[in-house]
Structure 1
């Protein structure tokens, strides 16, 4: 028998809570579910009205992993969904995690949570700009921090504020609150800044995905601004060897980073960080912080 729990009046069957999901740390599925419940307030705020894609890894990061945008079979009727246009294949339905009961249901599936840069009310109209800074070995997040600081200064010259989080993998995500803008324009603008960064920092940065160019450098991935693309959300656990989290960080932490371990956060680091800093990405939730992109062309 699977234990039944009631969350916000919804009955949930939680399965295999003793199953070890992260062998490196012995972290169980029950601990994964618990992590999401104690991080629910900031996490739900960032998930609000964003159609989700799931990277599922029910047998841990070394088991089968599969990415899905469609509503999973067996999804309870009370989990909200929305129709999302897809130009090539027609509309699909995706999950919205709008409340704690839906979050616990999703956590029970063992998922990474990924979202687009727009909300369900305005598909393809981005309210944030994203840069994914991905280091090519032997470069690490330390090199990403140098690239991040350059991008922050450059964005500031266009009147834009930048917030940062770890990817939960190897690099950093930079997020900029913007006034709603067609994703084609945000992608073009982000690409232009990635090209500028490479010109300014040729020994550090590349803007093309070509693997041969990337060893020892930071790839500035601007493509996640495309309407069909998604980014791992703040506070999601990642399917990595250990239970790392995509964790908001301060610019002081970025400036002071001299070792990758300084910007590696496991799930049990997050509650103390929230107690110390609050949600560092709260400004992203305030429409008053959004600014227009500068005029192109780019």
Structure 2
């Protein structure tokens, strides 16, 4: 019998200099399958956690992409770029005396103002669509890009260190190492830009590492992609993200056939939990329909 097609979730620690698409392409070659997707990209400059879905488990990515995230980053104060990160072209440089006036107390105050629920204008080279086109495509074509502010939540924005950096160009700059916990859709590049703007010296991101997506940490991610790489079972992942709704074998069969579980809503502890059968298999994601439970999404079950 042929080997079953791979399925599950793969945590990858992306190196710098690679696109997220490059990582997906390598995973496809390593696992010899085309059906691989990801739960949110990282810029080529950035490193850290990418969550890949393999085979039927790609259907779980929609429940992962919106999870909160943690980043470690370095913000350089004193220089602005057109991309708000080190991959862009310099657009402005603050005077040396203005940079020298940036104290740790001022930085801490600026960070505090960018913590909590904030209205953030994404970077002009973000992947947000404007009139059906990606903002970064418009920016690279030299077109003006005006993005509207979006409400995001930065639940933690901690300063880990502040240091002067001598760049041999018009005096030293200030590097600020930070850690950020935030909702999906938050741009750390925009935090760097706005912190620099608030301090009157400009700023951009020089390093970014994603260390967490929801319950998944980069410490559990692989750095090498090989055919024998271990995948997380989709049932384990769905339970970690959504919680568990245990079902009997008969209930599992009914859910697969599109039937409601009559009067079962009282057993729900989460809005959209993972239905797990007695053998530990993921049947699908379920939801309340009145007093009943109905399948929101069914998963293919290996024979």
On whether the aligned pair clears a TM of 0.5, the verdict is no
Higher helix share: 1
Q: TM-score, with normalisation over the residues of structure 2?
A: 0.26
Higher strand share: 2
Q: TM-score, with normalisation over the residues of structure 1?
A: 0.27
Structure exhibiting the larger radius of gyration computed from Cα positions:
2
